[in-house]
Structure 1
């Protein structure tokens, strides 16, 4: 597969660009949008960029805008008679035109930035919703319908109603219990495009399951329509239906609006999403598909390898981004020794070679300079099981200690990264589950190495989470003395154990329960924000005031609620050593 040249002819027709991690997928999309606009192939509002997540779409929007801003600055300097440098290769290409064309191109990029808020850079579902609303009655959807992220509550409701209707008065034992019915219903509703295969006539239980799944689908659809709600799958399927006819108004309208379509993370495309894109744009617009097929083998990513491969076969042009901009050449070369040519999930998904932009190693002077090492745990020194195996707990503890020692040796050396001493923040440890990460963190801290858990944190395991749990339990049962005392020890009341002991039953069963009952009414009537405001004006808590601030000086109790309250004890209590 040939490498994709960002300074070559602009893609036309359907182009598939394979891009491994670190090869610049988002950069390529931003650069292509800039070239299409600046070269006059399309205006910004004629370009559609799609990705598969809200965070990803926001990142893509930011990157496209930054590309256009950089291009505008380069053209502004050129119009003023200055040749800016250094520039990316595609900008050098765009500036390599006569002076009159430079001014024309400058106007194009300025117009694009002025109208950038109207650019269609969206997730697949946002794009479908936009199209369906613009189609009106032709889109077979209610413009006022509410889009919901999950139908699970509705599915549970339907299952309970149908199960009771079908089997509530039956004398015989039902062919499946309610939990099985719910699992069956969730599977049928979560994958609405799947076909429910008919059951063999000689298997009455299977037949009942199929009929129940069909009934659940029908009833869920009926109730969605009655309540005016749509799921994400509904958006896709309805748009696919609206595009089914070759002369459908939806096809004409979409082709009229968008001339260039770029799809990021294309390996995550499912069959219906590809059906929408193919029906609307194949053979009528420029369709650029960018993704990493090696990630399409992972079911948890929502990717469908067969959809990717089917789409790849329709592409007139296939190319690959063949430069890794993230990793050093020694590491890339050694990883390719292990993975070169490997077929992942299909003979058509092969690991292709890439070259590295960083030709040398930016890590210098490390005690173990090899960029790629595999550490193996031997059995000697361990208490083995009857099967002569090391127990998982012993192995994990050993690996954590070995890892911590390795990191300590690196940090204690004269190693440098990009010509500065290596710091703990330069090192990342990837683990499978949170408990493994906590083990590594603890062992690193025993070595005096600071370590934090990035992502995957459990807010309920924090002191603030424990305080909130104590408060909510007391609000639910203010008559129970143990729960009231637990709430009294939280930052919301701020009593110490000795104060609760000295106050006795009078403190536990009078003032605190009355306050809790009032807060419970406030929570039911006005919501969490009102509760936070009331709790902030309660008895000042030295623990809330003096605990380490986590954001803008606020204690964790107030940050956990999602806002920093100005009525927190730190904001009202004088004499606090931190205030």
Structure 2
């Protein structure tokens, strides 16, 4: 068990790990360490490197450290402070004047403080030490690698696909594997080093197998036609065959499907029923010990089924090899392509610095950087990856003052490349390890409730190295959340009952959403609710957060709350390129880029942004308005080529009345926000990559295909009003709300694609294994390991969810089908499929937790669905009035067009 960190006396030399559980003052501690380096060690602000993982966190950290420097200066200058740490720091320093001078100097030069994101830090080093790093002096840095990936993936496709056998090409087509899919797949894995790829290399194709299948199929067609009736008769008459399997209902259907197959020309479209007429198929349905019927047709079918299985295996391995080849090709060719185009993307910054540090000149570079940065504080280290770890271990791994701060219990970003196994390896390498054990976010009882849930199991996080140590409360015991003047249990386990029927995840979600809506209306004082107070003031809608796991659930929740008069906004982590507006804007821009493509113009007019339905579109095409629309698109085309994308987009949005039109519809704010965000992103791309009009359309098309997930591409919030926040668990990390609802903890999310199995090497956790060959002998073992890692991450995600609330949390669960792989099942019913439990059994388990919590946990029932009662209504002045606006007529009141000069638009 690690000891709590003694913030004022902890050694500042060597390497230290600080594990900071949720709400334990991580940023406060980091700022305190920064102060100690300034006051005790006499370092200048430019000597202390501080690294975190997002721009927003960087700005917050910068502001917090500056504020703490000012507070310390006030105290060292004779002022007062109730801060215990600052008081102890003054006592420890002894010489107030020396401390004051150091703080004055630090504040005067604080703008020079090296507080960076990891990408900014690497970029700064590469720029300042370009010669030592062997890096080009002039390269354009872009956060968007979609175009580069698409270009190089396209080169690979053109160079490799021609040599593939026809059957493999066909399978690629069936699986819809094209250039965009290869770019997504290879782009995801190409930067990960220490990665074992399976299969490794191209599988040698055997044409003899294809010829064997073809010959067997021809024989089968003849023999089936001649012998099927006799063979089927033998099956019907045999006492050794289970007649319920080969029933009068199914046997004629199987006969018909196989007869159709045998009369065809394609051996690869074999129906599942073919195996029913093979020896092995008959063996599977044997009844008793009697002899099975024999027939030459059964023998031939057995041969054909086996040959087809072998051919299928060979084709799948060839497809897998082709995809693995894309990873290797991108590793080799993408840097060359970027060099030729003088481009560098954010991930390249890390790879280039890592490579430079481990090159022949790496010792000199590392020594120079250690002189420049005499101490380092690395925040959010649970979100690190192998490349980042290699950089920091090379720079600061030999006795240099280094603090790494993180919480492996909150490591939930594996889909972005974060690797909790790298964190655990780094933890073993540090000289000291401490914890932050006091929670300053949540009320004492809520802290106790979370402790109860996670302490009920010896290994709640399913990984031995990730321990749960109960947190202490750093807050007082006064009333913090009351309803009708009463403070009760802060954690509500809301049990969705099933009665005597199967409860699906979909039904559970619907009931949970209804229960959430009713409870929020009541908490805000609507319906039957009494007034709620948080820390002595009225509860507001913006104090409430709902953690959703899918975009569909988020939108359904928002719609439900708005229908009850509760303002609600979605903080969406989905890429704006995955939104419906992205597809519609693509169609519109394609028409403006090429107005001679008539089908393209028709597609643009049919979008909801223009709003012509099928009838209106037909009328336009048959009347004089068609020519007018073509002229409009030609106008935008010319404007785009003459004045650029931004001027054209502005004219298009204003000229077609898109702003007013979308705002008149339900969800209009969300739609308009997405449109304007997309236009901004495309404008940046057009400028950064010097894209022509056709290039912008191609760029947007590539984004649609790849489903880009870069942080800057996440959907923006559509309103800043006082409203309930709906967001994902991943988006909520680092945030806190007085009241939090967790309505979907039973749903199994984040399993990934089963054909892309990734796990860590059991012998070396810094190495990864990517196995996409389901026929390989190691595949079952790798799949099992991958599923176990995914399950562990779901538990960590649930920990994040249950620690977002500061005053009250609602946690929905129940005996729900398909939930055995969820984080809730791992914690609440370990080793038991929840759907096998009755309501009474589930209640009994939850009541054990409630009693153990000493009043901090209350178990509630979420009964059968009944719809929302009419009185469940909350009325707030001006809440989302736009959703109640009269709909604007479309097309009929469109602004009249006239001939204008381009200069009039500037």
TMscore range, shorter length: 0.7 to 0.9
2:81 pairs, out of 82, 85, 94, with 85
Residue 243 of structure 1, CA deviation: 2.5
2:512 counterpart of 1:399: yes
Distance 1:459 1:247 in 2: 40
Distance 2:609 2:338 in 1: 44
Residue 464 of structure 1, CA deviation: 9.1
1:106 pairs, out of 81, 100, 103, with 100
Residue 463 of structure 1, CA deviation: 12
2:114 counterpart of 1:116: no
Q: How does 1:15-414 map to 2 (within 5 A)?
A: 15-76=16-77, 78=78, 83-86=79-82, 88-96=83-91, 101-168=95-162, 177=172, 179=177, 182=182, 185-186=186-187, 188-196=189-197, 199=200, 209=322, 213-244=327-358, 248-296=363-411, 299-300=414-415, 302-340=417-455, 342-360=459-477, 361-365=479-483, 369-380=488-499, 388-411=501-524, 412-414=529-531
Call closer, same or farther: CA 1:507–1:95 in 2, change over 3 Å.
Answer: farther
1:518 pairs, out of 635, 646, 652, with 635
Q: CA-to-partner distance for each residue in 1:41-76, whole Å, 9 max, x for gaps?
A: 411111001112222222222222222233334444
Residue 26 of structure 1, CA deviation: 1.7
Residue 473 of structure 1, CA deviation: 6.5
Residue 214 of structure 1, CA deviation: 3.5
Residue 347 of structure 1, CA deviation: 1.0
Distance 1:310 1:557 in 2: 41
Call closer, same or farther: CA 1:298–1:447 in 2, change over 3 Å.
Answer: same
Distance 1:212 1:463 in 2: 30
Question: Which secondary structure state, in structure 1, belongs to the residue aligned with residue 569 of structure 2?
Answer: coil
Residue 14 of structure 1, CA deviation: 0.5
- 8 Å CA contact 1:544–1:557 kept in 2: the answer is no
Question: Which secondary structure state, in structure 2, belongs to the residue aligned with residue 430 of structure 1?
Answer: strand
Distance 1:466 1:187 in 2: 23
Q: CA-to-partner distance for each residue in 1:272-291, whole Å, 9 max, x for gaps?
A: 21121112112242010100
Distance 2:37 2:518 in 1: 52
Call closer, same or farther: CA 1:269–1:557 in 2, change over 3 Å.
Answer: closer
Task: Return 5+ residue gaps in structure 1 as ranges.
Answer: 564-572, 574-579
Distance 2:52 2:93 in 1: 36
Residue 17 of structure 1, CA deviation: 0.2
Corresponding position of 1:570: none
Distance 1:365 1:208 in 2: 61
2:535 counterpart of 1:418: yes
- 8 Å CA contact 1:471–1:490 kept in 2: the answer is no
Distance 1:200 1:168 in 2: 17
Distance 1:284 1:231 in 2: 32
Distance 2:587 2:150 in 1: 30
Call closer, same or farther: CA 1:250–1:543 in 2, change over 3 Å.
Answer: closer
Distance 1:156 1:251 in 2: 35
Call closer, same or farther: CA 1:54–1:421 in 2, change over 3 Å.
Answer: closer
- 8 Å CA contact 1:519–1:531 kept in 2: the answer is yes
Q: CA-to-partner distance for each residue in 1:94-152, whole Å, 9 max, x for gaps?
A: 333788x3233222222222222221111222222222333333212212233343544
Question: Which secondary structure state, in structure 2, belongs to the residue aligned with residue 358 of structure 1?
Answer: coil
> Aligned pairs, how many?
546
- 8 Å CA contact 2:595–2:637 kept in 1: the answer is no
Q: CA-to-partner distance for each residue in 1:314-344, whole Å, 9 max, x for gaps?
A: 2221111111111001011011011025442
Computing the radius of gyration over CA atoms, which structure comes out larger, 1 or 2? 2
Question: Which secondary structure state, in structure 2, belongs to the residue aligned with residue 319 of structure 1?
Answer: strand
Residue 27 of structure 1, CA deviation: 1.9
Task: Return 5+ residue gaps in structure 2 as ranges.
Answer: 206-316, 682-894, 896-906
Distance 1:486 1:165 in 2: 35
Q: How does 1:398-547 map to 2 (within 5 A)?
A: 398-411=511-524, 412-456=529-573, 472=589, 475=592, 508-509=625-626, 513-534=630-651, 538=655, 543=660
Between 468-477 and 369-378, report the one with greater CA deviation.
468-477
Distance 1:192 1:3 in 2: 35
Question: Which secondary structure state, in structure 2, belongs to the residue aligned with residue 147 of structure 1?
Answer: strand
Residue 292 of structure 1, CA deviation: 0.3
Distance 1:57 1:98 in 2: 29
Distance 1:455 1:171 in 2: 43
Distance 1:414 1:401 in 2: 20
